[in-house]
Amino acid sequence: KQKTAYEIRNCDWSSVVYSSDLSITFRFWIPFALLPVMMLSIIGFYYPLQQKKILIERKRQALKETAQTIALGVELSLDFEDFSGVKKTIDFIKENSDFNFVGVILKDSSEQSETLLASFPEGRSYKEVALVDSSLYIFEDFAFSSNFANGYIRVAEKFSHIEEEIN
């Protein structure tokens, strides 16, 4: 009796079949295995950047609203020549801890100069408030105009505080 080709090369054929099955399986499943890994990598990098961008935009809006509120209080106080009202406005903002500092800056249009009327926390200089380093702080200004004086309110927060919120 003569042996068939299958009987002669049984082990060879099985190794060929298994190796081709392995390569086909490998080729089929690798893209599906790599896809979640790539997606997780992209999400792990992209999500924190988007989160930071959104948080900075929200902080800007909150700082702008705070500056606007303070400007209204200062403007009304100055219109009625109620300087204690300016102090009350500054005292009101002490309760809000969403920023590092606030400055009330008066503009003298005739001399093209500015002076610091009030700040919180107290003791800040004009330079510390008006010449803010934009690489360290996010800040917003809001102008006010009264019968007595014109100027603007500057509210600022450190970028490092925003980083702490993200982490």
Across the chain, which has 167 residues, the per-10-residue mean pLDDT values are 55 50 67 84 83 89 92 90 84 76 88 87 90 92 91 92 75
Tokens of 64: 């702008």
How many residues are present in the chain? 167
pLDDT of 13 reads: 47
Rounded CA separation 163/153 (Å): 25
Tell if the pTM clears 0.85, that is, is over it. Answer: no
DSSP 3-state of 36: helix
CA 32: distance to chain centroid?
Answer: 35
Find the helix packing angle between 83-94 and 10-79, rounded to 10°: 160
pLDDT of 115 reads: 92
Q: How many CB atoms lie within 10 A of CB 89?
A: 23
pLDDT of 6 reads: 53
pLDDT of 105 reads: 93
